[in-house]
Amino acid sequence: MGPPGGGKGTQAQRLASAHGIPQISTGDILRAAVREQTPLGVKAKGFMDRGDLVPDEVIIGVMADRLRQSDAQKGFLLDGFPRTQAQAEALDAKLRERGPSGVRVVNLDVPDQEVVSRISGRRSCGKCGAVYHVKFTPSRKEGACDKCGGALVQRDDDREEVICKRLEVYHAQTRPVLAFYEKKGVVRSVRGTGPLDEVTALIEQALA
């Protein structure tokens, strides 16, 4: 768990690769279910096509299907799920059906100010899609893509006011989920700032 722009996806990829377990992302699963036209995928597509949020019960159903697949039987890493307390409670119930779950929750602790700095500094090439950062990975020529020379732009959802709103929603949704797992004593908070390798090492220590 962690805020938008907190490094969850990057760290999840690293951990999944190192431990030989699948990284399971809600968004990826929904898209796969829609593509494969599973019953739950068809149901989810209706909400997605209308621009509505996919209800908890549909997401939980899709996740339950995914966790039954063979590659997830020896372990898995959830990225972006659960997002609500209802999802956390449903996941807990599903995992109890499998036996002792051994769930561990890593919470990447990244200050809001750092999140705003990370995301608002991103710039994308309008032609080839390459991504830069004005502070961390700037292009050689300001405002121009190194790969194709296209103009670099800031996406609408990378604007500071949008990021602040996303953080408000994140904190509102996450507090009850963290509280749910904290009562179980399975949450480990890890500093999410600093070099990638250092953060990865801190996560591994928390999981040891």
Say if 172 falls within a structural domain: yes
Say if 91 falls within a structural domain: yes
Which domain CATH number covers 136? Answer: 3.40.50.300
The residues annotated as belonging to the active site are 8, 83, 122, 155, 166
SS3 167: helix
Say if 54 falls within a structural domain: no
88 pLDDT band, cuts 50/70/90, is: very high
Say if 126 falls within a structural domain: yes
Report DSSP letters for 123-163, one per residue.
EEETTT--EEETTTB--SSTTB-TTT-PBEE--GGGSHHHH
Say if 36 falls within a structural domain: no
Is residue 99's pLDDT more than 80?
no
| Among 68, 55, 79, 66, residue whose Cα is nearest residue 32 | 66
Question: Number of folded domains in the chain?
Answer: 1
The reported pTM is 0.78
Q: What is the pLDDT of residue 131?
A: 92
Say if 67 falls within a structural domain: no
Q: Range of 167's domain?
A: 8-21+74-207
